[in-house]
A and B are shown apart, each in its own frame.
Chain A
Amino acid sequence: MPRKVNYGVDYDDDYDEYDYGYEVEDNEETPPEQETIKRSVWRCAVCTYDNDETMSSCDICGVLRGPLLKNLTYDEKRAGFNSLAANIFYLKSSRVHSIVVGEDEAVKVSSKRLDSSDVSTAKDKHNRLDEITFNMQSSGKSLLSLMPKERNVMVANSSSSRNGGKAHDLASNLKNISFSAESGHSNDTNPGRANSYAQYKPEKWMLPGKTEHSLAQLNLAIVGHVDSGKSTLSGRLLHLLGRISQKDMQKYEKESKLQGKGSFAYAWALDESAEERERGITMTVAVAYFDSKIYHVVVLDSPGHKDFVPNMITGATQADAAILVIDASIGSFEAGMDGTKGQTREHAQLIRSFGVDQLIVAVNKMDVVDYSKDRFDLIILQLGTFLRSCGFKDSSVSWIPLSAAKNQNLVSAPSDFRLSWYHGPNLLDTIDSFQPPPRDFSKPLLMPICDVIKSSSQGQVSACGKLEAGALRSGSKVLVMPSAIIATVRSLERDSQPCTIGRAGDNVAVSLHGVDANHVLAGGVLCHPDFPVAFAKHLELKVLVLDVATPILIGSQLEFHIHHAKESARVARISSLLDSKTGKVAKKAPRCIVAKQSAVVEVTLHEAVCVEEFSKCKALGRVFLRTLGRTVAVGIVTRIVEV
């Protein structure tokens, strides 16, 4: 029978698991319901409610009854139908209007879709729901025979007939529709309609074929407190795997010794600018590529310095998995773990908020502590509790002692006898043991621009970034936001080598043609011309305040970070305080929000940024609020209030 039970505040199942001393139900472990067959009822494929035979759509979730779809993607492996539906439909089920007329079925479903976009619950479960509902729709009724415009108008009307809780204007409605129109595999639809608002059909080359390269992409962020050895570790790895030639290595060693920074020789492979080398730190995220047995790994070496956390955020937002590097030496670990001055905690929290759930903790500089097992165990104990409170599951965190300087336990078993008490896998093997992350191949193109390279010699503009959804190839047309200019892709480059197709998850440099270099800015987004991404100044966010001293009041000035963009922002209104356990509104219009509270707030940005609601696109919906050099809150975009 239907389970109308709420699973608590669940943004990305990150935030509810910031365990502040209470137990939270874990959504993913709920077992799927048993199949019960009853006569004269049909079972809704989405929410598994047993509907009466006479009903043509499900009573609970409004999904049309129709033949089940074929080819479900990787999403299928993720979660069962049941928990997904229960999660999504509980809180907002009251909003479903029972418009039970033929065409309005679609409207109902899509308005449901719009409603539930406020519900910041399960992520890809949700996406999958869209695919399912739209597939059912498309196969059930010939709604697509309606002109796209009419459909949009209908939905707009229905939305105005809804209680005006949402301040969507027509334009944003249209955009919403277009996004809700993403469908997975409706191969049964008219191919000529590929670009209609009603639905987005991914072209054949966009989906990864079987004959393709078998190595999947993995974006790996390397984070940790300052001077823990991140750049050196990355440099070592690259060298051991043959990505840095012997000649280059010798050059680095010679030059670094000249500057008096001999110990930074490996780090120089990543820190290439004069400023970074001189000071011996990393200032911006360096990108490097290497291949392990299973993955094409893109290494995102982040700065550890407190002042460069904004740079770390914009770099590591692309990450699928992370390595947290810890300095094992006496005093350094403790300094890193310090609440206000250490970066270990802040980085771990940020990484978790990026949606990363697979983590390797590399305990570096073991040679300094003589490879002591006790020190290793102590670190595991202290840091482990903290990681658990952040929301990392014990099963997805691996602990590896190593020494980057002495090349112990990186790509092969440790040679030093003092490390012989360790019998686990080495670093490279642990990287291989990561689960492949899910990719949105079949959504319209979305690529946040991390970096812009202007080669004035050829008048070319290259935008670098990670493809969050969809695919690209040379000749495709893309829409550059926020300047809303259409450009064509001249060429694609990955790992300094030209490639033909870039798919979701790939970190590529896109060379663009037809757009002025001034219009392509870091923090912008490349998207499909028919499915533009929204950009706005006023946003409604659901945030969780971290463990910081300063409260957030109305009018507080904060720095707002979202994918690669950052803006100065002001808290316009604190709409409500949410109860951390149940996610329900605990208090309306509180005076301020203090540490460890969740709330719904409205912020006004200084300039508009490209943004999407979290439920539509996770990468564009995560936000970070910082002030006075610390991250005060992490959150998601629940609603775009107005442009």
Chain B
Amino acid sequence: MKVLHRDVVPNGPGVVKLVPVDSDDLWLVYNLIATGDRVMAVTFRKVLRAKSGGKNSERVAMKLEIEVEAMDYDKEGAVLRIKGKNILQNEYVTIGAFHTLQLQLCRPFVLTKETWDSLALDVLHQASDPGATADLAVVLMQEGLANILLVGRSVTITSSRIEASIPRKHGPAIVGYESALKTFFENVVQAFIKHVDFNVIRCAVIASPGFTKDQFHRHLLLEAERKQVRPIIENKSRIILVQTSSGYKHSLREVLDAPSVMKMIKDTKAAEEVRTFRDFFDMLSNDPARACYGPKHVGIAHERLAVQTLLITDDLFRSSDVKSRQKYEDLVKEVKKAGGIAHIFSSMHVSGEELAQLTGIAAILRIPLPDLDDIEM
């Protein structure tokens, strides 16, 4: 994300001009903007023109500033829709009229906020950090099922999902098996070529249980040779093979855990999230009294100053209820002050999704608190 202009007072009002570059950035913007902020951008509006004989309405490009009331993030389409009331004097649009702004990639916009709290500043800082993109393309497959995922810095997108029914292989049906498998691989190769852009990603991972990945890898290289697909041939060395236990999406965790992949992405947020989540899980199985989840339990643990690591999804920050947002913010700040670590998980990543299933907030504690078990969640 490019920050074109910045004029911010910490914990005070401020203005920034941003240009989102990839879908990750849109996600950050989504987290950044809250109800009540003001966004100005170039947009289109259908305007009624009193014109005899000819078009009655016309799409006019104009610069509008709206006060944000609601937001809608479209992951697959990479667009962020912001709905709100117009507050800028405009010849076409009256003040107070509703409008929906569409923030797209490579289009600048100006954001004005009343209070730039620490979290918002954090996000801004993260956004402008050019390095540390996870950018991994993962083909998670098993016999008959393949998921192609693009792991970004804060977002994981499922580019495509291919399912095929592959018969068993014994007796006369073997021919059927081979041909069905071949068709399946063909489809996956096509999707791979379409979605995986080696200029953007660091490396491609093919993961599966059993030997499907080896078979597919072989097939992919052969196809690339045959059809002379340059990007794949040049980047042969950037394709890694990883063993997982299944081809379902939640096995992405295992992929990110694998040492070969970890090496490539160790400085990125996604890897960190996976590591932290794994630590939480280990703690829960080894010493259940030292791990807890759910807002009530975590709240109690925090009161007793027992929280060592806080895991929280950014979903909770985006709640429109300002009070609860404030509460979580305070929680994060206090944990940090007490010497603990707070990890904000992107709910668009695999581990973030899993954390969200667990109510979205969890903690690893310094001291065991066995009586939490008795308190209702």
With A286-B170, A453-B173 as known contacts, state yes or no: A553 contacts B358, CB within 8 Å: yes
Assess whether B279 is interfacial by the CB under 8 Å rule: no
**Which of A450, A451, A522, A559 makes the CB contact (< 8 A) with B246?**
A559
B295 in contact (CB, < 8 A) = no
Q: Which residues of A contact B178 (CB under 8 A)?
A: 273-274
Provide the bound-state CA to CA distance between A496 and B293, in Å: 57
- The answer to the question of B14 belonging to the interface, with a C-beta cut-off of 8 Å to chain A, is no
CA distance A554 to B292 in the complex (A): 12
0 or 1 for each of B107-132: is its CB under 8 Å from A? (1 = yes):
00000000000000000000000000
B248 touches A557 (CB 8 A): yes
Known contacts A284-B168, A554-B357, A589-B377, A594 near B285 by CB under 8 Å: yes
- Contact: B168 with A308, CB < 8 Å? no
What is the CA–CA distance of A594 and B289 in the complex, to the nearest angstrom?
13
- In the complex, whether A67 has a CB less than 8 A from a CB of chain B is no
Chain A residues with CB under 8 Å of B215's CB are 275
The answer to whether A308 and B176 touch across the interface, beta carbons within 8 angstroms, is no
Q: Which of B171, B284, B354, B376 contacts A272 (CB 8 A)?
A: B171
A464-B171 Cα distance, complex, nearest whole Å: 12
Nearest A residue (CB) for B144:
A522
Contact with B along A299-329 (1 / 0, CB 8 A): 0000001011010000000000000000000
Q: How many A-B residue pairs have CB under 8 A?
A: 102
Give the interface centre of A284, A521, A551, A591 by most chain B CB atoms within 10 Å: A591
Report which of B171, B173, B358 forms a contact with A554, defined as CB distance below 8 A. Answer: B358
**B359 to nearest A CB, angstroms?**
8
A457 to chain B, nearest CB (A): 11
Interface residues on A, range: 35 or more
**Chain B residues, Cβ within 8 Å of A568:** 246, 248-250
State whether A559 touches B248 (Cβ < 8 A): yes
**From residue 473 to 506 of chain A, which have CB atoms closer than 8 A to chain B?**
496
B165 adjacent to A452 (CB under 8 Å): yes
Cα distance A303–B250 when bound, in Å? 24
Interface size of B as a range:
35 or more
Given A308-B210, A568-B250, A592-B284: A451 and B171 interface contact (C-beta under 8 Å): no
> A557 to nearest B CB, angstroms?
4
B63 CB to nearest chain A CB (Å): 44
Within 8 A of A (CB), among B292-325: 292-293
Residues 335-371 of B, flagged 1 when their CB comes within 8 A of A and 0 if not, give: 0000000000000000000101111000000000000
- B92 CB within 8 Å of chain A: no
- Kindly list chain B residues whose C-beta atoms are within 8 Å of the C-beta of A274: 178
B153-195 CB contacts (< 8 Å) to partner A: 165, 167-174, 176-178
Closest-CB distance, B181 to chain A (whole angstroms) = 9
Q: In the docked arrangement, what's the CA distance between A477 and B215, Å?
A: 41
Q: Is A570 an interface residue (CB 8 A)?
A: yes
Chain B residue with the shortest CB-CB distance to A595: B285
Q: From residue B259, how far is it (CB to closest CB) to chain A in Å?
A: 16
Given A555-B358, A557-B250: A592 and B288 interface contact (C-beta under 8 Å): yes
Q: Evaluate whether A551 and B377 lie within 8 angstroms (CB atoms) in the complex, with A272-B171, A559-B246 already known.
A: no
Closest to B254 in A: A628
Q: Does A454 contact B (CB under 8 A)?
A: yes
Shortest Cβ distance from A568 into chain B, in angstroms?
4
Chain A residues near B (Cβ < 8 Å): 272-275, 279, 283-287, 305, 307-308, 310, 450-455, 464, 496, 518, 521-522, 549-551, 553-557, 559, 568, 570, 589, 591-592, 594, 606, 626-630
Q: List chain B positions with a Cβ less than 8 A from chain A.
A: 165, 167-174, 176-178, 209-211, 215, 243, 245-246, 248-250, 254, 281, 284-285, 288, 292-293, 354, 356-359, 373, 376-377
Nearest 6 CB-CB pairs, A to B?
Answer: A555-B357, A629-B245, A557-B250, A568-B248, A307-B209, A451-B168
A272-B174, A522-B168 are known contacts; what are 10 more A-B pairs with Cβ within 8 Å?
A275-B215, A308-B210, A454-B167, A496-B171, A553-B293, A554-B358, A555-B358, A557-B357, A559-B248, A629-B245
A-B contact pairs, 30 of them (CB 8 A): A273-B174, A275-B215, A285-B168, A286-B170, A287-B170, A307-B209, A308-B210, A450-B168, A451-B173, A453-B168, A453-B173, A453-B176, A464-B168, A522-B165, A551-B285, A553-B284, A553-B293, A553-B358, A554-B358, A557-B357, A568-B248, A568-B249, A591-B292, A591-B373, A592-B288, A627-B245, A628-B245, A628-B254, A629-B209, A629-B245
